[in-house]
Amino acid sequence: MHAVSQQRGVTSPATRPRRALVRWFDSGEPHMARGPFTRWPRTTDAVLAVVVFVASLVAVTASAVSDGENVTIDSIGDRPAGAFAMLAGAAVALLWRRRHSVEVAALVMVIMVGWAIAGYGDGQDLALVVAVYSVGRYTADHRSSLATVAAVVTVSVLDTIIDTNQRVDIAPAILLGVLPWYLGRRVRNRGDYVALLHERAERLEADQLARARQAVADERSRIARELHDVVAHQVSMMTVQAGAAKTIARDDLDAAVDAMGDVERAGRQALGELRHLLGVLRPDNADGDDLGPQPGLAGIADLADELTRTGADVSLTMAPVPAGLSAAIDLSAYRIVQESLTNVIKHAGPNPTVDLTIGLDDVGLVIDIVNTITTSGGHEAAPGLPASGYGIAGMRERATLLGGTLTAEPQPPDRFRVNAHIPLEMERT
């Protein structure tokens, strides 16, 4: 039962107070790559206070014994009680050196002045060195940090003046106040620099992840757009022609056979375009080698013929294709026309009239498609064909990606118009 509780992360009542005490006493970051001063701050500060007290006591005793004598337990015990109290107070103050470094340094300086007035001797400066280092390491305010250093230097000089056994020397005072502070400041600046590098690395990683996700989303959108344009048109043509063949099969078998031949051609064309698209998407053929040409404006006449065979009256006016037209513009123009004619099959009604114009103006390529909208008995010509809702959005997206525009809107009383402008300046040299 105990083992099960441990596996589930349940602690016994006896361990809860102990763990709570540990968390209260030492709340540092448990990172294996960091040193003990970061992992266990309170524990290390407590150990540091004890070490400073013992080392200071030994140093004071060593400075007081006669030359040639060793420091013993008895000689340490001979120190005045006031010396013990001052050294202990300075050491205990170091427990708060991280959060209140300036206040701790001020308290240690006051203790050192009292020490000099009492005339307890030398060797008491270790706590002040640690306090000044802590000011440089943990004080964010640069002004208060420098003011503390100046105060330490001043107090150190006064200490030599008060103690008649010492000669006045500014250099040790400067080293005592400036050097520890400088070391602490360097450590702080390095920590801030490392933290900044980590922050930048995390930000770059997040940006890369966002760009990767956006690239995946864009690629999925592109694939969906291509599949929609390829499948929707050909399947719509096949559905309409198959329905026509079924209707006329009993009265005109030859016409039904011709209609089924159109269905076969549409199916073959759809398979060819799908094969090309899937070949482009294959990871082992990223360069698109040996996949054949993509459809373009040269195939517009075939699209018009296919629509004519469904019963539509199609009028095609097409200007010569500009030399050096990019593959992207050529394919996009073809897909826009293809999707527009697919919508005619789905929504225009029986026997629509379609005016298809492709030309050039001062801006670039112009695609204009106007069709009539007719209904019979309130039903569309091909009621079984679903509307995905992505066709017009896909056409507009294609034009926008090339820097162009596209509008698709009804023209009262009974027409629908698709108009696209695709600039060609980006392709000119």
Over residues 189-235, the pLDDT tens digits come to: 888 888 888 888 888 888 888 888 887 777 777 777 777 766 666 67
Nearest of 293, 300, 297 to residue 330 by alpha carbon: 297
**Residue 235 lies in domain:** 223-427
- 271 and 394 inside one domain: yes
- 119 and 229 inside one domain: no
Last residue of a domain, one of 143, 168, 193: 168
- 145 and 280 inside one domain: no
What average pLDDT does this structure show over 119-141? 82
Q: Is residue 288 part of a domain?
A: yes
Q: Is residue 410 part of a domain?
A: yes
Who wins on pLDDT, 300 or 125? 300
Measured from the Cβ of residue 239, the count of other Cβ atoms closer than 10 Å reads: 18
- 233 and 379 inside one domain: yes
Q: Identify the pLDDT of residue 363.
A: 77
pTM of this prediction?
A: 0.45
- 127 and 237 inside one domain: no
419 exposure class (CB count in 10 Å sphere: 0-12, 13-18, 19+): middle
- 264 and 412 inside one domain: yes
Whether 229 contacts 394, CB under 8 Å: yes
At 353-362, the pLDDT tens digits run 999 999 988 8
Q: Which amino acid is at 84?
A: F
CATH number, domain with residue 318: 3.30.565.10
Q: Residue 11 gets which letter from DSSP?
A: P
- 296 and 422 inside one domain: yes
196 exposure class (CB count in 10 Å sphere: 0-12, 13-18, 19+): exposed
Last residue of a domain, one of 168, 189, 211: 168
Last residue of a domain, one of 153, 168, 183: 168
At 50-70, the pLDDT tens digits run 888 888 888 777 776 655 456
- Per DSSP bridges, beta strands 415-423 and 405-411 are antiparallel
Task: Please tell me the least confidently modeled range out of 46-60, 84-98, 327-341, 368-382.
Answer: 368-382
H helix and E strand count, the chain: 14, 5
Who wins on pLDDT, 136 or 418? 418
Count structural domains, the chain. 2
Check pLDDT > 50 for residue 384.
no
- 151 and 245 inside one domain: no
- 135 and 227 inside one domain: no
Q: Is residue 324 part of a domain?
A: yes
> What are the backbone angles phi and psi of residue 314, rounded to the nearest 5°?
-105, 130
- 159 and 25 inside one domain: yes
Distance CA 114, CA 87 (A): 11
Q: Residue 314 gets which letter from DSSP?
A: E
Nearest of 316, 332, 312 to residue 399 by alpha carbon: 332
At 2-36, the pLDDT tens digits run 444 444 444 455 555 555 544 444 444 444 445 56
Q: Is residue 193 part of a domain?
A: no
Check pLDDT > 70 for residue 130.
yes
Q: Is residue 199 part of a domain?
A: no
Q: Is residue 318 part of a domain?
A: yes
Q: Identify the pLDDT of residue 418.
A: 95
Q: Is residue 233 part of a domain?
A: yes
- 154 and 285 inside one domain: no
Distance CA 336, CA 223 (A): 15
Q: Is residue 212 part of a domain?
A: no
Q: Identify the pLDDT of residue 419.
A: 94
Who wins on pLDDT, 306 or 369? 369
- 238 and 159 inside one domain: no
| pLDDT, averaged across the chain | 75
